Structure 1
């Protein structure tokens, strides 16, 4: 057989095999499932028809604030259309993310609402969360000078009658599903799985500092000691004001955080007494005054959970980094919405925080407690008894003496207590 005939034979055999393979080849699957073809990208236009009710309730913010965030993050989350399908617009991605944070709805529910697939939501969500955190990073920052710390302290004294206070500190367990390939790292004392959100708030319910991500198995005292804030506090690197006496007193005192029994009593952390609390006793008066200031962080967590209801049930996402970014995004959005004129009144309405009757000092529960029915979805730290150092006890006793003095008392404390 000649070379030409052999070549023709091989070519013919190749064509026959190729033709057979083509016939056996499976039909190419669709890029978009049939029920997702009619994308619901017009939902945001429908919401904008009623600014005060629909849009604000759906996103937890005004249109102006929504688009101000979108303008910053759009370059990070936008995708180009292709000849195969239309890309999901950046504003829809942001809308899906905000709706998830506001409700904690499953990806299946969001899929049917927005007509996008569950895999799309799971891959899109981490990108948008990171973009939100980057866009709002300047809304949470520690003061850098003693004058800035003093400004916060003055607000605590003016609003809550606790001088020398530069913040209210507390921590919460954010309940999550047990991550894969873990045994007990996230298992906490309540018998659930969690990561820890530690926060410090100023006198106006804004976070000054947050730490997110400690595994639930870590002791509550250990969580605080693992933070950068604690290390800076121990090394005197926070630029706090110098020690000075309380008004009308002579003993110089450090500036302090107010906390509950989950934290140790130190010269910079004041916590309540738990003995000799008879009506009218100095320790009871001190506890009451401490509670007025400490409730700031409790109310801050309460508002956070009542608005961003993703906290109200275990977060079902399995990736630890994404869970951390969910929590951080909510915290940054909280501070952002607390200072924005367009959204502040809607976000934190009149009466949403605990208040006090100015004639009796009686506590009037905030509306967030009714919304959450006492369950914020954020589990508190345990109260752990500790033996305080002498210096810390002396600082607390000086505060107690000051609150019992004529210059340090408030008009209603003797009546109420």
Structure 2
């Protein structure tokens, strides 16, 4: 395109600085009673799962091979990545994100190191609602996971409601990667020039 690499780097740095400065205005897990009530009602209307304030999951964002500690960035799927934790609300808005961990980090480890986990344990979100997660996460009083081997109708219905509600975070991951193709594997398949 006729633009010097150094110019692109400077502009990209400036744009990223601006985005970081306003991110908390757009990406924030609500804490007010009214906002949390709206989210709970919205999730309940989907599949009748009560008390949900968000769904959490990790997604791998592919990166080029890093020059140092390259093995730490290899994810279970065999490519280099960053493990990004996302939480969404009932309208599929991203309310929390953590993109600080290499691809080898387990989703639960990323969650355990997040400020959301601290807020759920003993902060402003304690006892204010539930997060839904897949079976890669540990069951906690505020973090609901599916029953691995359901034994009765109640557990089967629980799993159906859990899955039907939690699918929204999978949709958010898909939307994000389709809207911003650089987050998917596709751009890494092209040769560098």
Q: Contact between 1:256 and 1:269, CA under 8 Å: does it hold in 2?
A: yes
The Cα shift of 1:223 comes to 1.1
* Partner of residue 127, structure 1: 14
* Partner of residue 288, structure 1: 160
Q: Distance in 1 between matches of 2:131 and 2:169?
A: 11
* Partner of residue 191, structure 1: 78
Q: Distance in 2 between matches of 1:314 and 1:176?
A: 11
CA RMSD, Structure 1 to Structure 2 (Å)? 2.1
Q: Contact between 2:181 and 2:187, CA under 8 Å: does it hold in 1?
A: no
| Residue 94 (structure 2) aligned to one of 202, 207, 210 | 207
Q: Distance in 1 between matches of 2:148 and 2:109?
A: 22
Please give the secondary structure, in 2, of the residue aligned with 1:184: helix
Moved over 4 A (4+): none
* Partner of residue 124, structure 2: 237
Structure with the largest fraction of strand: 2
* Partner of residue 175, structure 1: 62
Q: Does 1:298 align with 2:185?
A: no
TM-score by length of 1: 0.42
Q: Distance in 1 between matches of 2:75 and 2:184?
A: 17
* Partner of residue 191, structure 2: none
| 1:267/1:165 CA distance change after superposition, 3 Å | same
Q: Deviations over 1:306-361 (max 9, x none)?
A: 11111222776xxxxxxxxxxxxxxxxxxxxxxxxxxxxxxxxxxxxxxxxxxxxx
* Partner of residue 135, structure 2: 261
Please give the secondary structure, in 2, of the residue aligned with 1:185: helix
The Cα shift of 1:191 comes to 2.2
Q: Contact between 2:39 and 2:53, CA under 8 Å: does it hold in 1?
A: yes
* Partner of residue 145, structure 2: 271
Q: Contact between 2:44 and 2:51, CA under 8 Å: does it hold in 1?
A: yes
Unaligned runs of 5+ in 1: 1-111, 242-254, 317-417
Provide the aligned length of Structure 1 versus Structure 2. Answer: 188
| 1:130/1:256 CA distance change after superposition, 3 Å | same
Unaligned runs of 5+ in 2: 189-193
TM-score by length of 2: 0.87
| 1:189/1:168 CA distance change after superposition, 3 Å | same
Please give the secondary structure, in 1, of the residue aligned with 2:72: coil
Q: Contact between 2:54 and 2:130, CA under 8 Å: does it hold in 1?
A: yes
Q: Distance in 2 between matches of 1:159 and 1:274?
A: 22
Q: Deviations over 1:13-45 (max 9, x none)?
A: xxxxxxxxxxxxxxxxxxxxxxxxxxxxxxxxx
| 1:141/1:220 CA distance change after superposition, 3 Å | closer
Q: Does 1:309 align with 2:187?
A: no
The Cα shift of 1:144 comes to 2.5
